Amino acid sequence: MPGGEFPLGGDLAVSRLGFGAMRLLRGSFDSDPRDPEEGTAVLRRAVELGVSHIDTAWFYRVGDIGANDLIREALSPYPPGLVIATKVGPLLGPEGRPTHQSDAGGLRKLVEENLKSLGLDRLDLVYLRIGGMSAPGGESLGERFRVLAGLREEGLIRHLGISNVDRGQLAEAREIAPVAAVQNHFHVHHVRPQDLGLLRDCEAAGTGFAPFFPLGGGADPLQAARLEPAARRHGATVRQVALAYLLARSPVMLAIPGTGSVAHLEENMGAARIRLTAADLEELAGSV
């Protein structure tokens, strides 16, 4: 598998270099829509290249077409070993952005929407996404996470995760049910002390850590000049080096770069061949 394997939840072997579906239908929430047929081609090529971990969400959509719909149309019946992770919690506002949050009472409906749109009887991994695009922390997740834990007991969900959280919220969730994965903002140039503490907690428990924006995003882009020397040494692109850094940073790291282009997908998957040295990592991360 690209980048090696990780035992998600202890029983699902997934490729550590996976695929994020957010950019299948548009590059950002503000960009023009993409041709859905291109997204279908990207998904099929990802599986051909060995990707066994796809990260999605029902709210990744443009109008009536969602990333989940493309995944179902492109890949169902799903190949053995393909793990699909999704997120619940955010709600789309009138402008089509996930600017609102569901309360505990709305989570069952969101899970059912994911089941229906993906054409599944059980979801492999469901993250509870907290706080929109604000910084992690500042609110309890217990009431909402208990709802998802109940749906797991019913058999609708196999494993649970949490997203955009701090160490306290991770500890709170673990008091309720096992946490198979955490998804937080993290990339080679976005590594804060609190992120490292959360990553250490995940390593100690064998919990997967899936960074969102692994190649930068929005107001937090990669600093290409800091990546170019290593890219030249390894005959790679800066995007490949940024992904290779994540895979080398921790054995629990699950990189999920997203794209709506087959060419960019193939470039991203090339990161699996890069073996960064300790000197490379020190140079890339600076003082981190």
Residues annotated catalytic, as ranges = 60
Torsional sign, CA 164, 168, 171, 176? negative
CA angle at 150 for the pair 164 and 15, rounded to the nearest 5°: 50
**Total residues belonging to the chain:** 288
Which residue's entry shows tokens 């789309």?
A: 92
Helices first, then strands: H and E counts in the chain: 10, 15
Q: Could you count the other beta carbons within 10 Å of the beta carbon of residue 251?
A: 12
Alpha helices in 142-252 (DSSP H): 142-154, 167-174, 193-205, 224-234, 238-249
Q: Which residues contact 137 (CB under 8 A, 6 or more apart)?
A: 131, 165, 166, 168, 169
Q: Which helix (H) or strand (E) holds 279?
A: helix 278-285
Residue identified by tokens 């019946």 is: 77
- Concatenating the DSSP letter of every residue in 99-155 gives -EE--GGGHHHHHHHHHHHHT-SSEEEEEEE-STTSPS-SS--HHHHHHHHHHHHHT
